[in-house]
Chain A
Amino acid sequence: MEFESLVVYGIEFFVITTLFVLIILFFVRMLRNRSEKKQEYAIAVIQEALPEYLYTLDPAYLEILEPYTKSGSGRDLLIEYLIDIHSELNGTIKQAAKSLYFDLGLQSDSESKMKSLRWFEKVAGIKETTLMENSDGYELVKDCLSHSDPEVRRSAKIGMVELKKIKGLKDLALVNDPLSDWSFMSIHSILSRHPYKIRKKDLKILKEANNPSVRKLARLLNSLSTDNLITVEDQ
């Protein structure tokens, strides 16, 4: 090949590559801008209509939300906001948020995520199921204990205690996989937040658990009982 044509070829290659890269960058930015705007609009509608519906139970607001129940991303957004409301508020509105989660069939979305092959979908499903207190999903959460990904196992351990408190802890006692400090602190926090009763024989099971972290937690439960957060019963 002649020198001149090589130069021209090289310059053409450079210009095309540069333009290609620039187009990709702008294309990605355009897509992100568009999806962000769409999401911002959806968030604005949901943020306005969802609390109104939960307070008034006026079907007109449900109609506003209906378009979002038909797409995967819309359902995910609804779940996200229902979780926020359910976690941060109490009383009838909390109950209404939970009811709507079930009425719209969003719990089956969360359960499907737990059956997904993707580990991060599983994590999302576990978090949604536990934060919305869907106790029917407990077995699915428990199944995730044997998953190969540590994040899935971690979420499952925390989720089991969040959903079933002492029963979850008793199930964890049979597992050898130790709790990370993160899981330990999360479970401790869950148990500290929810005053409840524990039978002496259950406490004994926990104190003799295979899992060293559960044994450590059982000792902590004793200390919590002195703060009236936990009542240790004979039966």
Chain B
Amino acid sequence: MNGLMVEFYHIINNWIFVYAIILMGLYLFLAGSSLLEIRTYMNRNKYMYYDDILRSPLAPGISIIAPAYNESRSIVYNIRSLLSLHYNNYDIIIVNDGSKDDTLQRMIDAYDLVKQDIEPELDLDHNEITGVYKSTNKAFKKLWVVDKKNGGKADALNAGINLSNKELVACVDVDCIIEDDALLKMVKPFLESTEKKMIATGGVVRIANNCEVKDGRMLDIKLPEKLIPLFQTIEYIRAFLLGRMAWSRYNGLLIISGAFGLFDKKILIEAGGYDQSTVGEDMEIVVRMRRLMHNKNIPYEVEYIPDPLCWTEVPEDRASLIRQRNRWTRGTIETLISHRGLFFNAKTGVLGLLSYPFWFFFEWLAPLVEFFGLLYFIFLVSIGFVNWKFFFLLLLFVYTFAILYSSFALLIEEMTFRQYKKSGDLIRLFGVILLEPILYHPITVYAAIRGNFDKFVLKKSNWGSATRQGFSSK
């Protein structure tokens, strides 16, 4: 190897080393911050009584907006679950986004829906609405159904927001199981904030695969049986308990899960509503709302609630998982590109100086660095220029770090919400932690690379399909 190549080799090695150290350091910082934030939350809520707010006629109104596309199989149960939430002042707007099956007819039959002569406000753009339905049965007076031409999730959410006449909107996935007290817990930060304007809150999403569910209600929490959802269980615990809680502490959240988020409707509309052109609408809207608040120079907050408030079904096979992660990657890229003005923008504080660069360097670029690092390693092996001793120890160090980090997330879960109490759950989860970096992580890296390829080379911008198993019913 000539001198130039040796020089190049050292530069690359040093860059990768520095990148890895910064990444690990940030993860440790986030983990510590999350722990503090969760402890504060637990202490704050230990003696919290929601009864006054539950009964209060002054409670702010909430519209739950749930887009539905080909949900014929479960829509009736999903709505029943939403109708039984504990909150005084809310309505439910189901947006049938041009379903090709009999989703709409099922709702009409089950809830005695009748077409209304209503023209929703046109604050936000969306595809044509073909009908607005309301129940004639007083028991379902909270329920509205909007039937519209297919336009995607963001389009459907915009249609629902236009129909809403409440102060807050909860944007949810219709097939999620929402805990009874979720709205109370999510609305609390809006009511407590005095110095800053609360613009959005998010709830922790947990995995419902293999859980026992009846009539849209969680009966028994079980770990998934299949390996891929099991890996995602640890991934979700880690992401929500260690990642988002830390960002919430520093008011640096860039995303609120599309499965369940509560937003200030006025700010949401002022920001322009959901962007129909991106597949990462849940992240994009939060960033846009935050930018709006910065532009208007109004102090604001975005908060996460660590309680498990929403249960969702995750992909069970590799192909569906890759499709989902591919879409998430494209969504991240689209949001980062369209808000590139935030990159190290000191005027936007934590948003521009920490959150955006973190997502840029460690959410978008991390899989690319891993992938090109692997290619570089193969190249070094092929020319016989690998320091195996160094390589082996580094690999062991990174693997141990990954295990410790996930174990820390599991430890926090065990000390706080403790959802998986059955004997054997802990050992299964720990086994999954040991296997995840070897079996699961490469799949997510591959999906992210595919996402980048699809975005920049194939210029793809659709959602892709998802296969759902449906919740088991007792």
A interface vs B, CB < 8 Å? 3, 6-7, 10-11, 13-14, 17-18, 21-22, 24-26, 28-29, 32, 119-120, 123-124, 127, 150-151, 154-155, 178-182, 184-186, 188-190
- Contact with B191, one of A6, A123, A124, A181 (Cβ below 8 angstroms): A181
Residues A151 and B52 in contact, CB atoms below 8 Å apart: no
- List 5 additional A-B contacts (Cβ < 8 Å) besides A21-B407, A24-B407: A25-B407, A127-B47, A182-B192, A185-B56, A186-B52
Over the window 24-47 of chain B, the binary record of Cβ atoms lying under 8 Å from chain A Cβ atoms (1 yes, 0 no) is 000000000000000000011011
**Shortest beta-carbon distance, A181 to chain B, in Å?**
4
- In this complex, how many residues of chain B approach chain A with their Cβ under 8 Å: the count is 36
**Shortest beta-carbon distance, A26 to chain B, in Å?**
7
Residues B414 and A25 in contact, CB atoms below 8 Å apart: yes
Nearest 5 Cβ contacts at the A-B interface: A120-B43, A182-B191, A189-B52, A181-B191, A21-B407
- Contact with B392, one of A10, A179, A184, A188 (Cβ below 8 angstroms): A10
Interface of B is mostly: helix
- Contact with B414, one of A6, A32, A123 (Cβ below 8 angstroms): A32
Residues in A with CB closer than 8 Å to B110 are: none
Residues in B with CB closer than 8 Å to A28 are: 411, 414-415
Residues B389 and A3 in contact, CB atoms below 8 Å apart: yes
Residues A178 and B194 in contact, CB atoms below 8 Å apart: yes
Inter-chain CA distance A27–B445, complex, in Å, is 34
Decide if B403 is an interface residue (CB 8 Å cutoff). yes
- Interchain residue pairs with CB less than 8 A apart (22): A6-B393, A7-B392, A10-B392, A10-B396, A14-B396, A18-B403, A21-B404, A22-B430, A28-B415, A29-B414, A123-B44, A150-B192, A150-B194, A151-B44, A181-B58, A181-B190, A181-B192, A182-B53, A182-B192, A189-B52, A189-B53, A189-B55
Interface of A is mostly: helix
**Shortest beta-carbon distance, B191 to chain A, in Å?**
4
- Contact with B193, one of A17, A22, A180, A188 (Cβ below 8 angstroms): A180
Residues in A with CB closer than 8 Å to B418 are: 32
Inter-chain CA distance A175–B140, complex, in Å, is 44
Over the window 363-391 of chain B, the binary record of Cβ atoms lying under 8 Å from chain A Cβ atoms (1 yes, 0 no) is 00000000000000000000000001100
Residues B430 and A25 in contact, CB atoms below 8 Å apart: yes
Inter-chain CA distance A155–B392, complex, in Å, is 56
Residues B396 and A185 in contact, CB atoms below 8 Å apart: no
Residues A120 and B53 in contact, CB atoms below 8 Å apart: no
Task: Closest A residue to B403 by CB, please name it.
Answer: A18
Residues A6 and B389 in contact, CB atoms below 8 Å apart: yes
- Contact with A154, one of B192, B388, B389, B414 (Cβ below 8 angstroms): B192
Residues B188 and A182 in contact, CB atoms below 8 Å apart: yes
Inter-chain CA distance A7–B393, complex, in Å, is 7
- Contact with A18, one of B59, B193, B411, B434 (Cβ below 8 angstroms): B434
- Contact with A13, one of B55, B190, B400 (Cβ below 8 angstroms): B400
